[in-house]
């Protein structure tokens, strides 16, 4: 059974940093790309960052240069380091993967950027 569990969200001031973590289980983690999405109130869910099995990364234009996605295959973890946070980054952040013909999502972790 595929499970994704996010953690690390919270309240941070503009310009601050947070590191999100996603613990994966139930599938061969190293063989699958992993993604981080986010959904702000009243907006559609959007792709923030992705990392392939080979460690190649892609980012939404809005977070390039500020966010870094990484993975630890031995620990079955994926991370999102978020720096220089802005109020527009406020959202619920979700870990995601495509496995067995469908997408799997975690429960999400709230990130609030506010002074």
Q: What is the rounded CA–CA span in Å between residue 22 and residue 16?
A: 20
| 20-53 pLDDT, tens digit each | 999 999 999 999 999 999 999 999 999 999 999 9
| 64-75 pLDDT, tens digit each | 999 999 999 999
* CB contact at 8 A, 85 and 113: yes
Structure confidence at residue 89 as a pLDDT band (50, 70, 90): very high
Query: Closest Cα partner for 20 from 68, 74, 90?
Result: 68
| 61 conformational bin, left if phi > 0, alpha if psi -120 to 50, beta if neither | alpha
Q: What is the rounded CA–CA span in Å between residue 74 and residue 56?
A: 17
Which positions ≥6 away from 61 have C-beta within 8 Å?
none
């Amino acid at each position: 059974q595929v499970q994704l569990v996010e953690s690390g969200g919270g309240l941070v001031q503009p310009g601050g940093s947070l590191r999100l973590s996603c613990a994966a289980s139930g599938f061969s983690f190293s063989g699958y790309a992993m993604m981080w999405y986010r959904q702000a109130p009243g907006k559609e869910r959007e792709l923030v960052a992705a990392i392939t099995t080979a460690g190649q990364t892609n980012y939404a234009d809005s977070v390039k240069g500020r966010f870094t996605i990484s993975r630890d295959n031995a620990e079955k973890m994926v991370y999102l380091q978020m720096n220089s946070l802005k109020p527009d980054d406020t959202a619920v952040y979700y870990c995601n993967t495509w496995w067995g013909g469908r997408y799997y999502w975690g429960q999400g972790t709230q990130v609030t950027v506010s002074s």
